[in-house]
Structure 1
Amino acid sequence: MPDFAFAPPAPADPHAPTLADRLALRERPMGTPLLRQEWKDLLFLHWPVPPELLQAHLPTRLRIDTHEGMAWLAVVPFQMAKVRTRATPPVPGTDEFLELNVRTYVHLDGVPGVWFFSLDATSPLAVWVARTFFHLPYLRADMHMESPGEQLRQFSARRTHRGAPAAQFRATWKTGAPLPPAEPGSLAFFLTERYCLYASNKAQTKLYRGRVAHQPWPLSSAQVLHYESTLVESHGLPTPAGAPLVHVGGPVSVELWPMQRV
């Protein structure tokens, strides 16, 4: 199996989104959102990846989104809070849970977004709703987050979803100083300013796109003190090479619109 070593930059994609395309998605969509929630204590772990290694794992119509010729693979643990529908307040016991996703970045017809290889979560209800109504590959998992210090976080996860490949994750990180807002066109902007997500049915014959809206991510530097994971490998992908690019993000208040077939 090939590894995620650096490779020569891929040729420019003539259909890649422009900076104007990316900035346009910051505008709040028309209509009423389906869900509202808050994302906090989020850790972005990103590795550069040769695009062709990820392209083979995508539905045919989706193209890998690249920055200076490289694709990026991410593992992202965080806490979901204040989850509610547009018409109801948060319901205790279902409005807060942990989540951990494996993701990359894609585009379709000039619209950039996120593609999730998996989204592990501690809430069985959230897993059912996301799989049923959003076509997203959510999986049940046992997870724990601890805060032994004001700027210190410890996150552990073990996948428990029946029929899914086993996977585990453990990380400890320390949040550093706040960073300036991500400059449009920068790598940090490319990786974090994403307002669209894609999903497909299991056979990858149907493709769906959903919109999200939130303020630009408040980012901070961070130091990863410990990391071990088999999440990436559970998808048949090779272990990322080298140390990840690290950011801490949040909190942000988020609105989500229904998925639409594209």
Structure 2
Amino acid sequence: MTQRWNDLLFAHWPVPPAAIAPLIPEGVQVDTFHGSAWLGVVPFWMDRIKFRGVPPIPFTSGFPELNLRTYVREPHSGAPGVYFLSLDASSLLGVLFGRAMYRLPYHWADMRIEQRREREFWFASRRRMTAPPVLFSARYRGLGPTRRLVESRPGSLEYFLTERYSLFTRDRDGHAMRANIHHVPWPLEEAEAEIEHNDLAAAIGIRLPDIPPVLHYSRRLAVYVWQLDRVRAARSPRPIPAAAVPST
């Protein structure tokens, strides 16, 4: 599947790994940076959506989306990836395809994104058919690229949060699934944001810390997503035969 993501805000908070661990499937583990797991809220709009071998899907040419994500690692291969805790989209067909093809926890939502100025946006979402309502609204703006972000390197927080080329989810039986992702490195900018409502974390039982989030903006990125494969189960240690144990 190919798609293009546009005008993204990345808002991230550090959270205790123990808060995330019960929410991810067996077969992956919470990935941490300086001892903290990270929870990200990402509003954006997508377009140029195409499934390989499938004709263009009506009413999915472009729509707003909002995701709540964390970061995990596959113990067997060490591959770092993204784990989506929830995704909201304004396209019902997009929601149905995302649930059916990628087992992702999509929700149908009323959404609006408005461009106020160059690199400045207002985004609002209200999840449908939920009580109490799950709301998100924010004003955000990109402040332009900086040398520090353009030259982001392994070991930086920006690299940890964005340079991930797998997404993980779970199948109907709760087993971890993985899809490979390809894109160029994220063209990140510094950002400012006023987040007016944010119910996403509370909706899954996580309390965000009372600190400002780490903010980034990205203008546009093309993303390629491959099919899902089941994550290999970690092998249990094999017992060593008594005959192979050296005598003292």
Whether TM exceeds 0.5 here: the answer is yes
Aligned residues: 226
Please tell me the root mean square deviation across aligned C-alpha atoms, in Å. 1.7
* 1:166 corresponds to 2:133: yes
**Cα distance, 1:164 vs structure 2:** 7.7
**Alignment deviations for residues 8-55 of structure 1 (CA, whole Å, 9 cap, x no partner):** xxxxxxxxxxxxxxxxxxxxxxxxxxx111011011000011111111
**Cα distance, 1:60 vs structure 2:** 2.7
Task: Report the equivalent of 1:124.
Answer: 92
Task: Report the equivalent of 2:116.
Answer: 148
TM-score by length of 2: 0.86
- Provide the rounded CA distance (Å) in 2 between the counterparts of 1:244 and 1:163: 26
- Provide the rounded CA distance (Å) in 2 between the counterparts of 1:230 and 1:240: 13
* 3-state SS of 1:67 partner: coil
| 8 Å CA contact retained: 1:181, 1:219 | no
Aligned letter for 1:115? Y
**Superposition pairs of residues 1-262 of structure 1, within 5 angstroms:** 35-87=1-53, 90=56, 93-108=59-74, 109=76, 110-160=78-128, 162=129, 166-179=133-146, 180-202=150-172, 204=174, 206-262=175-231
Rg larger for = 2
Aligned letter for 2:61? D
- Provide the rounded CA distance (Å) in 2 between the counterparts of 1:250 and 1:89: 27
**Cα distance, 1:181 vs structure 2:** 3.5
**Alignment deviations for residues 130-174 of structure 1 (CA, whole Å, 9 cap, x no partner):** 1111111011001000011112110000001x4686310000012
| 8 Å CA contact retained: 1:174, 1:225 | no
* 3-state SS of 1:131 partner: helix
TM-score by length of 1: 0.81
- Provide the rounded CA distance (Å) in 1 between the counterparts of 2:101 and 2:34: 35
- Provide the rounded CA distance (Å) in 2 between the counterparts of 1:61 and 1:96: 33
Q: 1:163 to 1:148 in 2, by over 3 A?
A: closer
Provide structure 2 residue ranges, at least 5 long, that are not aligned to the other structure: 232-248
The percent of aligned pairs where both chains have the same amino acid is 41
**Cα distance, 1:87 vs structure 2:** 4.1
- Provide the rounded CA distance (Å) in 1 between the counterparts of 2:197 and 2:14: 18
Q: 1:136 to 1:149 in 2, by over 3 A?
A: same
* 3-state SS of 2:64 partner: strand
| 8 Å CA contact retained: 1:152, 1:174 | yes
Structure 1 residue runs of 4 or more that deviate by more than 6 Å after TM superposition = none
Q: 1:121 to 1:105 in 2, by over 3 A?
A: same
- Provide the rounded CA distance (Å) in 2 between the counterparts of 1:188 and 1:239: 20
| 8 Å CA contact retained: 1:181, 1:218 | no
Provide structure 1 residue ranges, at least 5 long, that are not aligned to the other structure: 1-34
- Provide the rounded CA distance (Å) in 2 between the counterparts of 1:244 and 1:234: 18
Aligned letter for 2:36? M
- Provide the rounded CA distance (Å) in 1 between the counterparts of 2:27 and 2:132: 26
- Provide the rounded CA distance (Å) in 2 between the counterparts of 1:76 and 1:259: 22
- Provide the rounded CA distance (Å) in 1 between the counterparts of 2:192 and 2:56: 33
* 3-state SS of 1:73 partner: strand
